[in-house]
A and B are shown apart, each in its own frame.
Chain A
């Protein structure tokens, strides 16, 4: 792979000064020199980065989005054009016949015997009556309201904003601060990163969320360096790998407030730190 390596990573607490950009084929030892200019690691040493697996749990929309004004206009235009270009249906023909028959009945030279020889034995149910009956039946059914009674600002409920896809955020102690993060947990030897992400999901207190993970590959990553006082020999910082998961359609589970949040993509900036947000936004698609 000969991709030019020209990205600058700005970690959460520390801005590193990048050395010369490395062009050409990347290999393990040469790229490590970029991150820790002072510590030159011999090839084959344990990586100084602690690995974390995180899960980007999405509750997909349950209700269709509202139409924008141009979409409304276009929809109406399409309906009109389709109607103009179509043929008359059986029901419409019946309506026209009934109307013609009614007008013939109103006329003075109406001969009821001639008209009714076909219809004498049958009950006359006009097409208009049928339409009324169907209208009545429709009114008997009450659909659930599109926007549920849940308060839109209450981020802890997963029933808010049914028309958008929501991401789960967790408040966590990192170092000395309490931050809103995607649920993450440290990697242990012997498991794949996807299993780490699954463990992160399972370890959330108070929620047995069974989600479908979309594949074995991570969808994004974020890396940060520990602040200078915590940095020891052999641990420079941490790399978090995100995995996407999707909640099944019908499940809605209440979670405790103040530590969980279901958040839309637009609201993410109110919760996440800027650098973290920049990486996370790339793989969250709010289409």
Chain B
């Protein structure tokens, strides 16, 4: 600002000086002398004393803001709702209720007997499975005992865990075997899952 004032003043003065003789001309009371235009009134005043209270005041302001932020942050974050536990409103629609058919006596009897037969079948299936598994475990235990009789180091090597086994992947059986050289069509879908952020 002072610089601009100086430049303008010098241009004014030089123009003035060009047309008239060099006389101490005071165009404004700001310029005390023509030759020394470097300083102006506001500049000549002493610089503002920064009061010592000011830095303390700034620090206090910052601390107050920080405390406010902490109070806001202390609020616990909103819990993300579990979509599976919320029954969608569609299920409470009354128009959707199916009229239940009346079962005759024979049908209900047949159902009850079939359920009991099924539980017996499943129980025997479970027993055979457990027996097979226990048999296999027993065979393994005996094999390890025999190996111990043979040599200790082989036994220890057999007991050591296999690091390469896991992660173990195998595709289970499907209803039909895979078609050889099958080119699956590209499926396009719109993903409408809701993503929550805390």
Question: Which positions 150-184 of chain B face chain A at CB distance < 8 Å?
Answer: 150-151, 154, 157-162, 165, 168, 170-171, 173-180
Query: Who on chain A is nearest to B146 by CB?
Result: A221
B175 A249 Cβ-Cβ under 8 A:
no
A60 close to B (CB within 8 Å):
yes
A70 B121 Cβ-Cβ under 8 A:
yes
**Complex Cα–Cα for A282 and B136 (A):** 6
- Interchain nearest-CB distance for A42 vs B (Å): 15
**Complex Cα–Cα for A223 and B162 (A):** 26
A268 close to B (CB within 8 Å):
no
Chain A residues with Cβ below 8 Å from B135 are 282-283
A86 B98 Cβ-Cβ under 8 A:
yes
A70 B162 Cβ-Cβ under 8 A:
no
A62 close to B (CB within 8 Å):
yes
B100 close to A (CB within 8 Å):
yes
Question: Which positions 206-239 of chain A face chain B at CB distance < 8 Å?
Answer: 212-221, 223, 239
**Complex Cα–Cα for A285 and B134 (A):** 11
B14 close to A (CB within 8 Å):
no
B66 close to A (CB within 8 Å):
no
Chain A residues with Cβ below 8 Å from B175 are 63-64, 143, 146
| Cross-interface CB contact of B136 among A142, A162, A285, cutoff 8 Å | A285
Known: A63-B174, A193-B147, A242-B143. A87 touches B114 (CB 8 A): no
A285 B140 Cβ-Cβ under 8 A:
no
**Complex Cα–Cα for A37 and B149 (A):** 17
Known: A74-B118, A223-B146, A287-B129. A146 touches B139 (CB 8 A): no
B109 close to A (CB within 8 Å):
no
Known: A47-B151, A77-B111, A86-B98. A219 touches B177 (CB 8 A): no
**Complex Cα–Cα for A217 and B115 (A):** 42
Chain B residues with Cβ below 8 Å from A26 are 145, 149
A88 B96 Cβ-Cβ under 8 A:
yes
Question: Which positions 56-91 of chain B face chain A at CB distance < 8 Å?
Answer: 91
**Complex Cα–Cα for A26 and B145 (A):** 10
**Complex Cα–Cα for A57 and B178 (A):** 22
| Cross-interface CB contact of B139 among A28, A49, A77, A282, cutoff 8 Å | A282
Query: Who on chain A is nearest to B97 by CB?
Result: A87
B contact residues, total (Cβ < 8 Å): 50
Known: A144-B177, A163-B173. A216 touches B159 (CB 8 A): yes
Question: Which positions 36-53 of chain B face chain A at CB distance < 8 Å?
Answer: none
**Complex Cα–Cα for A86 and B179 (A):** 35
Question: Which positions 17-59 of chain A face chain B at CB distance < 8 Å?
Answer: 26, 28, 31-32, 47, 49, 51
A144 B176 Cβ-Cβ under 8 A:
yes
B-contact bits for A230-257, CB 8 A (1 contact / 0 none) = 0000000001011000101110000000
A279 B139 Cβ-Cβ under 8 A:
yes
B138 A282 Cβ-Cβ under 8 A:
yes
A192 close to B (CB within 8 Å):
yes
A219 B143 Cβ-Cβ under 8 A:
yes
Q: Which residues of B contact A (CB under 8 A)?
A: 91, 93, 95-98, 100-101, 111, 114-115, 117-118, 121, 129, 132-133, 135-136, 138-140, 142-147, 149-151, 154, 157-162, 165, 168, 170-171, 173-180
- 11 new A-B contacts at CB < 8 Å, known A62-B174, A285-B133: A32-B149, A62-B177, A71-B121, A74-B114, A88-B95, A192-B154, A215-B162, A220-B142, A283-B135, A283-B139, A285-B132
21 contacts between A and B (CB under 8 A): A63-B174, A87-B93, A88-B95, A144-B179, A145-B177, A146-B175, A193-B154, A194-B158, A213-B165, A215-B165, A216-B160, A218-B143, A218-B147, A223-B146, A242-B143, A246-B170, A248-B170, A282-B136, A283-B135, A283-B136, A285-B136
